[in-house]
Amino acid sequence: MFAESIVVASDHAGYELKETLKRELTNMGYEVLDLGTNDGTESVDYPDFGFAAAEAVASGRVTRAIIVCGTGIGISIAANRHLGVRAALCHDVDTARLSREHNDANVLALGGWTTDPELAKTCMKTFLETSYEGGRHDRRVAKLA
C-alpha cells in the first residue's frame, strides 16, 4: 500500500509551523510534497504558495493540502480562487472537523502567528481523519463549484 501524498506550502511567516506539520505528517505515514517556501527568513508572497498548493489539488496531483501564512487568511483566499479547491481556515478542532464533515474542505489553512503548534497538529490530524458527511451537504458544496 502506498502512502497518501499531502502537499504543504507556506510563506515566510508560516515556515516554522509548516516544518512542524511536515514532521508530524511523516510520522503519521504520509508522503509530504513541500512546495515551499524553504526559508523562514526571506520575505515571500503568500499568494504564490497558496496558488501552488491549490494547483496541486485542482489538478488532481494530490487530494489534500496544508497551507500556512502568518494568519492563514491571505493564503486561504489565494487558494480558494481555484475551481475545485475548498480551503478552510481553521482555529480549533471543531472548525477542522466541521470543515470536512459539512464543507468537504480539501485544503487546511492555519496561521503561523495565531495557532499554537500542538493545536495545529491536532487540527491537522482531525482534518485528515474526518470524512465528508455528504447527504444534506451535497447541494451546498455543489454550489461552491
Residue with cell 464533515: 101
Q: What are phi and psi of 55, to 5 degrees?
A: -60, -40
Query: Is residue 91 among the annotated active site residues?
Result: no
Question: Which residue is catalytic, options 12, 69, 82, 90?
Answer: 69
Query: Is residue 102 among the annotated active site residues?
Result: yes
- The rounded distance, in Å, linking the Cα atoms of 64 and 112 is 19
Question: Which residue is catalytic, options 12, 82, 91, 102?
Answer: 102
Q: Does residue 8 contact residue 18 with C-beta atoms inside 8 Å? A: yes
Q: What are phi and psi of 68, to 5 degrees?
A: -145, 130
- The rounded distance, in Å, linking the Cα atoms of 121 and 25 is 9
For 83, the 3-state DSSP assignment is: coil
For 32, the grid coordinates are 509530504
Please identify every residue annotated as catalytic.
69, 102
